[in-house]
Structure formats: C-alpha cells, structure tokens
Structure 1
Amino acid sequence: MLQPLSTDPTLLLFIAATFLLAGFVKGVIGLGLPTIAVGVLGVVMAPAQAAALLAVPNLVTNGWQLATGPGLRRILSRLWPMLAGIVAGTWLGAGLIEQQKNGSATFWLGLALVLYGLVGLKAAKLRVPAGAEGWLGPLVGLATGVATAATGVFVLPAVPYLQALGLDKDELVQALGLSFLVSTLALSVGLLEAGVLDARVALQSGLALLPALAGMAAGAALRARISAASFRLCFFAGLLALGGYLVLRATG
C-alpha cells in the first residue's frame, strides 16, 4: 500500500502547478496530461500514486474533450475495435506500473515519442489504409493498453495510429479524448483492484481537477485561434518535447 499524500503546502502547490501546466498542454494539442503529470509528479511520489491522482482529472478532461468534438457516433463506430483492444491490454498488464523500478518502460516510451515527433516535424505523413483498420485497430489498442498498464501514460501506439487516420484537427482531438477516456477507465479499475485508488485518493484526485481544468480551458482557447498547420506543428513539437522529457527523467 502506498503512503498517504502529504499535506505540505509546498508539495500541494507543486502538484497544482503540475496539473495547470499539463492541462494547458492538453488543451492545445489534445494530449499530454498524464504524460506530463506522471513524469513531473514522479519526482515526489511513486508512479502508481501519480497515476491514481490522475484518475479524476483524466476522466473529466477527456470527457470534456470528447463531448466538444464534431461527431462522436462516427468516431466511436470507427474506433471501437481499437478501444476494445485498449481495455484488454490494460487488464492483461494490470499491476505492471507497481512493479516498475528502473524506469525502463518510461525510457522506451519516451524514445518512441521522440522518434515519432521527429518524423512528424519532417512532414512525413503516415496513413492507415481503410482496409487495414479492422485488424490493425485491435492490435494498436492491445499494445496501448499494455503500455498504459506499465507507465500510466496512454499515448503509444494509439496517438500515431489516430493521427495516421487522416482526421482533421477537431476530429483528432475528439478521437484522442475517446481513446484516453477508455484507457483511464480501464487503468482505474486496475488501480482499484490493486488498492492504490480508494476514496481518500479519489478526493485528492478531485481537487487536482481544478487546476487541470483551468489549464485546459486556456489551452483550448489558444487552439481555437491557430490554423491547422500551426496545430500540426504544435502537435508534433509537443510529442517531441514530451518524449524528450520522459527519456531525460528515466536516465537522469
């Protein structure tokens, strides 16, 4: 069982600032809340504890992101095979995050993000043929679920897959919200079963929602003012920065 979260004012301010920053990044590019929060909070707490603290902010911010998109039914009908794979992979990998001691999973996750960010910034366009979605989606979901269970971060390989579907910026942000919402629910069930997420931690997680929402609102306002080309640049630069941070943290 993890130790209760300290009520030291400096620590609480650090946590609030972390969620404010993570929420802002998510508002701009549609992802980054768990990546930044787990990475930064890992300085002061165990990865499993950080993942549990993210439960409510992840659920609410991804629900908001999902609800504000252009066409939920169409996105859901297209992505359900991947979503089913995410659930299966997360449950298959249940408990991996508590076993992570040397940061190797975080390192490889970060390295993959760096490579994908570099490919995107070089304007290379990955595309998934329409006929491949039926079998590739579940495989991507399964791999994403296992990575989620091991690191508490939901980005790979789901994000490159979704980006390669050729969605516009608002559809992509909505699809990311749907993918992350399903990942959050599956991971939360695993954390509940492991005893890491309980009523006390859920209350603390609820308090972390406030700065996360404030940051996300500011980021979403910025996204509404930028062009599709600028969004694409922000998206891949954000992935590169997130990946670089994870690599540095795992090797530092």
Structure 2
Amino acid sequence: MNSLPLISLDHVSKSYGANPVLRDCSLKVAPGEIVVVCGPSGSGKSTLIKTINGLEPYQSGTIMFEGKVVGARSTDLPAVRARIGMVFQSFELYPHMTALKNVMLAQTHVLKRSSEEARARSLELLAKVGLSERAHAYPANLSGGQQQRVAIARALALDPIAMLFDEPTSALDPEMINEVLDVMVSLAREGMTMVVVTHEMGFARRVASRVVFMDEGRIVEDRPSAQFFEAPDTERARAFLSKIIAH
C-alpha cells in the first residue's frame, strides 16, 4: 500500500452561520482503504464526506486529494470529481433517460468518449452491478435497489480511483439493501478506495479497514474495524453500537 494518503483532511472546521457542523476534523485515507464513517444523526458525517470532493465548502483547515488542495482556486474541481465517484442517499438519476443513457451521459461530456465507447463501457458496468437486462428501463420502472445500482455504475463510468458513499442504503426497503451492499463489497474486494457513511454495521464489520465514529461534528474515534467493534474507546460509541446492533 502506498504510504502517502490519497485523501487527507487536516483540522477541518465548518459552520452554517453560528452553528458548527464540523469541528477540527482530521482524517487520512490511504489507497485501497475502506473507511466507514458512522455516528448519530446530525453528527456531521454527510457534511464531512461532501467536503472531500468540494460539494460542501469549509471554513478552516486543509483537504487534499492526490496532493491537490480541494477548495483552492487553482484546483480544477470537475477534474477532482471525475477521480472521486460519489453515490448519494437519493439516487439522482435523470428520469427521462434509460439506465444505459444515465450511465453514458458523463462519459461523453466529461471524458469526451465517443457514443460507441460510452455505450460499451456502460453495458459492461451495468453487467457488473447485475443489471444487464434492465439497461433500457427508465428509473420509474426500476426498484430503489436497482436505481441505486445504476447510480453506482454511473459513478464508476468516470473510472474514479476513489468512491464516496453517503448513506447509500438508507432510502431503500430492507430487502433491497443487500443487493446494493453486495456491489459495494465486490468493489472493496477489487481494491477500490472507499469512504462510506452508513449505519450498516454488518457491512462495516465485513469490509471496513477502519471505522470513524463522529459525534457533534467531531471525529471521536478512528480505529481499525475489529478494535472498534470489540472495544470502542468512548462511552458515546459504546451506546451508539449497542443501539444500532440491537436493531
């Protein structure tokens, strides 16, 4: 594993007016690591990962990706976002486009691939997420789990070297959650660098290299996965885990 971090946050803070959302957060993610970010609602998890690719501005500290400062005027943010795929809680597919066209779109616009190249790559990725037979379906005719898998294929279509997942299963019915998690597990096994905000502790236990626990905008724990689950350092993390795992 490369010793230089791919993603680095140093003393990052962010407020909405007088309301602090991130407080002095520092985090390093090495190539190939899978970092799960968890914590109670309102703890700053989603905001934290959205600062990594510049979707959320931050007031102080430094965020670096591949050695470039995210948020610096000289940094080409669209180029950074092409290198870091992002999957949201809501699928955000274009409703008037088929699954295939949704996956093709950014390839032709951002990577300037020809229609033929983009189509071939999209079909390959839809097969990877188990949706070959739904390539020509519109989002309204896909289940939530299928829509989220199309969203993952769309993010992968730009050939990112890292992926951010912001509660990718929280809008899904229970029986659809595993079909999305299975795709994420296979990506992890292929060595994709991933930062995942999730309450799915089974997934975290199975594939996370590290677990980051947040509370009230702070990173309270950042520990190897097995250590976090066996013996959390803080009372806050212990209470959170007992509640989540009980459900």
Compute the TM-score of the two structures, normalised by the length of structure 1. 0.30
Which structure features the higher share of strand residues?
Answer: 2
Compute the TM-score of the two structures, normalised by the length of structure 2. 0.30
Q: Which structure has more RCO (C-alpha within 8 Å, separation ≥ 6)?
A: 1
Which structure features the higher share of helix residues?
Answer: 1
